[in-house]
Amino acid sequence: MSMWPILISIPVLALGLLFQTAVISRMTLLSGTADLILLILAAWGLQERVKHAWVWAGVAGLLVGFVSGVPGYVYLASYLAIVGVARLLTRRVWQAPLLAMFSVSLIGTLVLHLTTFVVLVLLQVPLPLGNSFAQIILPSILLNLLFAIPVLSLMRDLANRLFPAEVEL
């Protein structure tokens, strides 16, 4: 088993996080923003030949948890759940990658934002669910679905370079 895919996760996710914090976070719709790391993990988890998607989720959870104001375990748990959904869809349900990417993006955004909402409420941060859903969660879902196609394309290209298809003779 090669360490190359694991080692490549750190610069890919670090660059994704830099791009997310510097550029993507400035593109808001109401109060919602896209989550580039979520989309990278969803697209990476949907690649059939990828073997290290769980490691990528762990690295991403630690990186985003480090720079976020939300407790780090929220991102770690949410990103692991997102990769789990992506791997489940890859193995069991769909062979249509675009539909799977949209599904994982939708489910992942809901999981991440609802987990964040629950943790913040438990930490006694007053948040109204209706406003949070309308102003943050729904716009974030829309933005994530908008960015899902280019991220899926980029991650498919990276997976094809790291895990080339075996040629049968």
Q: Which two tokens stand for residue 162?
A: 């790291």
- CA 20, CA 36: separation in Å to the nearest integer? 6
The model carries a pTM of 0.90
Gap between the Cα atoms of 101 and 118, Å rounded: 25
Q: What's the pLDDT at 163?
A: 79
The pair phi, psi for residue 122, each rounded to 5°, is -65, -30
pLDDT tens for each residue of 18-35: 999 999 889 888 888 999
**Residue 102, CB half-sphere, CA atoms under 13 Å: how many?**
8
**φ, ψ of residue 29 in degrees (nearest 5):** -125, 110
More confident residue, 141 or 96: 141
* Residue given tokens 């249509």 in the structure block: 96
pLDDT at 72: 84
Q: What is the band of 166 on the pLDDT scale with cuts at 50, 70, 90?
A: confident
Q: CB neighbours of 141 closer than 8 A, spacing ≥ 6?
A: 32, 105, 106, 109, 110
